[in-house]
Structure 1
Amino acid sequence: MSSSKLSTPTDLASNAAKSVADALNGILADSYALYLKTKNFHWHVSGPHFRDYHLLLDEQAAQILASTDAIAERVRKTGNTTLRSIGDIARRQTIKDNDQDFVSAKDMLAELREDNLKLVEQLREAKEIVDAAKDNATSGILDDWTDEAEERAWFLFEASRT
């Protein structure tokens, strides 16, 4: 095995790039936590709206998972390293796991809505960091990820209305 460091060229100042990477790695950890929670609820949802919720949660989980590679690649493009393990995710995640044996469909939707809104908050904070670093590429992508998380929260809200 080679012991040479990963070296990716970037024009971002090293301190700015490190701040961007830290923000993105936090978002990545929470994206994995949110993905797994969404799949957990997809697998365990029950009740009269089973099919609708089952499909909605599967679609949302796929969207979240699709973003993870792009997030990690942005970290690498800034000359930094990204998450390496489940343990690394667990150390960085702020979205809490849900290991309960039973969660009502109503509570599932509410919890995921709040988690997506928490992710939106993180994305907005990251936007300030990347804009200060003049990382235009990450800034633009953060807008897309923010819109996706807001849409997921909106769908979860609308689906849970009575």
Structure 2
Amino acid sequence: MSTQKHVLQEAGTVEENSLRLDQGKAEQIVDALNTDLAATYMLYHQLKKHHWNVEGAEFRDLHLFLDEAAEHAEEAADEIAERLQALGGTPVSNPVNIAETAPVEFEGDDVYDIRTSLANDLEMYGDIIESQREHIELATDLGDHASAEILREILVQTEEDAHHVEHYLEEDTLVTDAAIEK
């Protein structure tokens, strides 16, 4: 528990910003960015889980890819958090609040085969991509072109990583149960 006696800003609040973005608009964008931040944290943790647990014939490539993809998610989370703070908001950071705020669900602590794990990742990527697109449109409509641009840059990387996952799930990759039985 913090020993600080004076709270500088309560979590979930949006203060006036120096970017001259209307308070009401800033509140909407901060809410959207916190949703994306929470989703990105969930993706990061799921990718790291798969990075730690991957096995099999393509272990090395997948291990490296999953670590790199998790780094991309971590970098995106940092950019999102810094932007929403600049807008006068407070980044969601409590693990319970992250889980409640995220529009995606962590697959859990059980370890699955890599095809299942990657399919779960691809599903999460798809949900995050849809959310990011909606929030780019929202920020643009509200005149916050900088937030829209930041999200566009993040979206490019998110889509690229999702596309790589899709490639790993193609039929001619990863040893399947049918191939083992032959």
**Shared fold, TM over 0.5:** yes
Aligned partner of 2:131 in structure 1 is 122
1:32 pairs with one of 38, 41, 48 = 41
TM-score of the aligned structures, taking structure 2 as reference length: 0.84
**Identity fraction in percent:** 30
Q: Aligned-pair distance for 1:158?
A: 0.7
Label 1:8 to 1:15 Cα distance change in 2 as closer, same or farther (>3 A). closer
Q: Aligned-pair distance for 1:84?
A: 3.2
Label 1:86 to 1:4 Cα distance change in 2 as closer, same or farther (>3 A). closer
1:134 pairs with one of 140, 143, 147 = 143
Which sections of structure 1, spanning at least 5 residues, go unmatched?
A: none
Give the number of the structure whose residues are more often helix, by fraction. 1
Q: Aligned-pair distance for 1:128?
A: 1.4
The 1-side partners of 2:93 and 2:112 are apart by 31
1:50 pairs with one of 59, 65, 71 = 59
Aligned residue pairs total 162
Q: Which runs of 4+ in 1 moved over 6 A?
A: none
Aligned partner of 2:71 in structure 1 is 62
TM-score of the aligned structures, taking structure 1 as reference length: 0.93
Aligned partner of 1:99 in structure 2 is 108
The 1-side partners of 2:127 and 2:95 are apart by 21
Q: Aligned-pair distance for 1:8?
A: 3.5
Q: Is the CA contact 2:99–2:105 (under 8 Å) kept in the aligned structure 1?
A: no
Which sections of structure 2, spanning at least 5 residues, go unmatched?
A: 10-14, 172-182
Higher relative contact order (CA 8 A, sep 6+): 1
> Cα deviation per residue 1:88-139 (whole Å; 9 max; x = unaligned)?
1011012111225331111111111121111110001101110111111111
Q: What letter matches 2:38 in structure 1?
A: A
Aligned partner of 1:2 in structure 2 is 6
Q: Is the CA contact 2:125–2:162 (under 8 Å) kept in the aligned structure 1?
A: yes
